[in-house]
Amino acid sequence: MGNCFGSSAKVEIAHSSRPTSEISRSSSKKHNPIVPSYNPNSVADRNDNNNVLNLPTPRTEGEILSSSNLKPFHFNELKNATRNFRPDSLLGEGGFGYVFKGWIDENKLAAARPGLGMVVAVKKLKAEASQGHKEWLTEVDYLGKFHHPNLVKLIGYCLEGENRLLVYEFMPRGSLENHLFRRGSQPLSWALRIKVAIAAARGLSFLHEAESPVIYRDFKASNILLDAEFNAKLSDFGLAKAGPTGDRTHVTTQVMGTRGYAAPEYIATGRLTSKSDVYSFGVVLLELLSGLRAEDNLVEWAMPYLGDKRRLFRIMDTKLEGRYSKKGAYVAANLASQCLRREPRARPRMTEILGELEELESPKTAARISHSVQRETIALSNSKVDASLSTLYQKSPQRQ
Ligand SMILES: Nc1ncnc2c1ncn2[C@@H]1O[C@H](COP(=O)(O)OP(=O)(O)OP(=O)(O)O)[C@@H](O)[C@H]1O
Ligand SMILES: [Mg+2]
């Protein structure tokens, strides 16, 4: 889920293979420490924090849990559904905890025998996650009341003693982060990158334009999950915040988020607006274009190329091998550069960004996407067959 910038760091430095520039990259895995210049105890900020207290009264835990249509699970049920949280059911690890693959009965939503029923993803809070319970509850609160095709579906939760778990729809293609950066993964085609950008923009626009707007605050490649057809959905609402209401232009909060994606003014002042999400969207667009991880200097490095039609190819992902629409790339680069403007008010709204991106998805591109999805789906099922065959052979050495 989310990360506080102040926590401990795991930094991995690598070099870009690009001949034009060398840029150091860190793993997007959170907990990269940066010290915000914003001091939460300063007088001005305390006043702002008082304003936060005047926001609509947050609901109590009891209200949140009783008002949602989410299924409460017993710990033992989820233990069975994930084969006792076995390491081979592990889908991934984040700041909040581990995510396991599990099976539940589609109708009764009770734990099912592994391999039977509906596949789900079960996120289990690590005991040491400091903000754990608060983020867990925020996630239940937002995903319990917001339903949209581009937000991951939360099916249920478990709150039992020290145990905090969340049960989500399973997203078979994992995170965008894995597709863009994991070594050995099949490169995403240009058409799929645009498809992902559009779906993610739809998710964010929905949140920003809601009757009571929401700032997502942790928009990044690892929180964009993909279903079998590469439809993107936002996950992780642990850091989401109610947007400003009335005459207020911002809310002030402790600086939380992920290094490389957070807007500079938010890091400096703790002042949060929907334009902070727009900045993070610009960073992800840049990752989609360049195939490079967001980090301290990706934005600075790429900025000079974004408005330059002739030099744009220098930042484009070499894994695309030149197979992208030059016009489309220029439009997307221009959008990224607008999102990354230092002045938040000069950044476009998510709805405007969405409109421009949708124009890139012409019927011809849409047809290309559908072909590429079909190709990838065949590749996915072949790799599943390969995986099950190799498991079978591993289990039966006498077959050789
Ligand atoms: N619903 C899901 N379906 C399939 N895989 C999932 C699902 N949710 C999470 N995962 C996998 O588990 C990984 C860890 O997710 P998690 O949200 O805990 O951490 P993260 O996004 O990598 O980091 P952070 O803690 O900063 O959000 C994801 O990157 C993804 O690969
Ligand atoms: Mg996440």
**In this predicted model, what pLDDT tens digit does every residue of 90-114 receive, in sequence order?**
999 988 889 999 999 988 888 887 7
List all residues 6 or more positions away from 312 whose beta carbon is below 8 Å from its beta carbon: 305, 306, 326, 329, 330, 333
Kindly state if the Cβ of 154 falls inside 6 Å of ligand 1. no
Q: How far apart are CA 73 and CA 14, in angstroms?
A: 43
Residue 281 vs residues 139, 260, 267, 332, 386: alpha-carbon distances, Å: 20, 11, 16, 11, 36
Cα 347–21–335 angle (5° rounding)? 20
Q: How far apart are CA 12 and CA 15, in angstroms?
A: 10
> Is the separation of the CB atoms in 243 and 196 below 8 Å?
no
Structure tokens given for 397: 């050495």
Tens digits of per-residue pLDDT, 113-137? Answer: 777 889 999 999 987 766 788 888 8
pLDDT at 324 exceeding the cut of 70: yes
- Hey, what CATH topology would domain 59-169 get? Phosphorylase Kinase; domain 1 (3.30.200)
Q: Which residues of 1-11 are buried (b: 16+ CB within 10 A; e: fewer)?
A: bbbbbeeeeee
Query: 């993107």: which residue's tokens?
Result: 232
Kindly state if the Cβ of 216 falls inside 6 Å of ligand 1. no
The CA R_g of the chain, rounded to the nearest whole Å, is 21
User: What's the 371 CA to ligand 1 centre distance in angstroms?
Assistant: 27
Kindly state if the Cβ of 121 falls inside 6 Å of ligand 1. yes
pTM score, whole prediction = 0.81
List all residues 6 or more positions away from 183 whose beta carbon is below 8 Å from its beta carbon: none
Structure tokens given for 6: 């102040």
Nearest atom of ligand 1 to the alpha carbon of 30: 26
Average of per-residue pLDDT across 244-266:
81
Proportion of the chain above pLDDT 70, given as a percent: 74
CB atoms within 10 A of CB 375: 12
Q: Whose CA is nearest to atom 4 of ligand 1?
A: 171
311-315 long-range contacts, CB within 8 A, separation 24+ = 314/18, 314/20, 314/21, 315/286, 315/289, 315/290
CB atoms within 10 A of CB 328: 19
pLDDT at 373 exceeding the cut of 60: yes
Residue 22 vs residues 19, 311, 333, 367: alpha-carbon distances, Å: 8, 16, 20, 37
Tens digits of per-residue pLDDT, 57-87? Answer: 567 888 888 877 889 999 999 999 999 999 9
Task: Return the active site residues.
Answer: 218
C-alpha dihedral, 262 to 268 to 271 to 274, nearest 10°:
-30
Tens digits of per-residue pLDDT, 308-321? Answer: 999 999 999 999 99
Q: How far apart are CA 291 and CA 183, in angstroms?
A: 12
Least confidently predicted of 176-190, 211-225, 228-242, 274-288: 228-242
The best mutation among 89, 131, 235, 258 to test binding of ligand 1, ranked by most ligand atoms within 8 Å of the C-beta, falls on: 235
- For residue 276, give the nearest of 289, 268, 293, 264 by alpha carbon: 264
User: What's the 119 CA to ligand 2 centre distance in angstroms?
Assistant: 19
User: What's the 235 CA to ligand 1 centre distance in angstroms?
Assistant: 8
> Is the separation of the CB atoms in 328 and 358 below 8 Å?
no
Q: Whose CA is nearest to atom 11 of ligand 1?
A: 92
pLDDT at 13 exceeding the cut of 80: no
Kindly state if the Cβ of 238 falls inside 6 Å of ligand 1. no
- Structure-model confidence comparison of residues 167 and 21, the more confident one: 167
pLDDT band at 372 (very low <50, low <70, confident <90, very high): low
CB atoms within 10 A of CB 363: 7
CATH of segment(s) 174-392: 1.10.510.10
Tens digits of per-residue pLDDT, 184-204? Answer: 889 999 999 999 999 999 999
Q: Whose CA is nearest to atom 16 of ligand 1?
A: 94
Kindly state if the Cβ of 187 falls inside 6 Å of ligand 1. no
Q: Where are the domains of the chain?
A: 59-169, 174-392
- Structure-model confidence comparison of residues 232 and 146, the more confident one: 232
124 marked ligand binding residue: yes
Proportion of the chain above pLDDT 90, given as a percent: 53
DSSP 19: S
